[in-house]
Amino acid sequence: MEALPRAFAWKLIVVDNEYHALKGKWKMMAEKLLEEAVRARLNAYAPYSRFLVGASIETENGNVYSGCNVENASYGLTDCAEASAISAMVTAGERKIKQMTVVTDASELTFACGACRQRIYEFASPETIVHFYNLSGKHESKKIKDLLPNGFGPKDLLSDKE
């Protein structure tokens, strides 16, 4: 594994948002998620947009999965980083996202696209937090219920027995 870029000295910076609410092991895992998302981002295949994105997931079981965006010459076939991370999680046999991290190099924070909010919602609880970072140290954390209010999901199609 190559070393993290120097820009990541900022990763312990505490900012005024829901990150403060993270405690103990959960906060430590949020830092691990950041590191994993940063690493995954370095593998992004984004020759067309040159917008590299890394994502990572901590599941309810405490395991971590990561993903990057994978573009295609047929642009519409592009996979977002969030989608790749979710695929890695499901492939490994897990389905419950506890928290998630997304990293870009945009000067202003960017938040998950609409399609990815829906993808996350499928495997999240309403309180699941998604952390967004850029490489300059900006950071905000949001609950999926705020990213996708009134979301349509498994609860609308599956009975409690399933």
Closer CB to ligand THU, residue 26 or residue 111? 111
Q: Is 116 in the site for ligand THU (CB under 6 A)?
A: yes
Contacts of 86 (CB under 8 A, 6+ apart): 57, 67, 97, 119, 120, 122, 123
Residues touching ligand THU, count (CB under 6 A): 13
- Nearest-approach distance from CB 119 to ligand THU, in angstroms: 10
Confirm whether 82 is a catalytic residue.
yes
Closer CB to ligand THU, residue 118 or residue 126? 118
| Alpha helices, H only, 2-161 | 24-42, 81-91, 114-122, 144-147
Contacts of 154 (CB under 8 A, 6+ apart): 122
Site of interaction with ligand THU (CB under 6 A): 46, 49, 51, 53, 69, 71, 78, 80-82, 112-113, 116
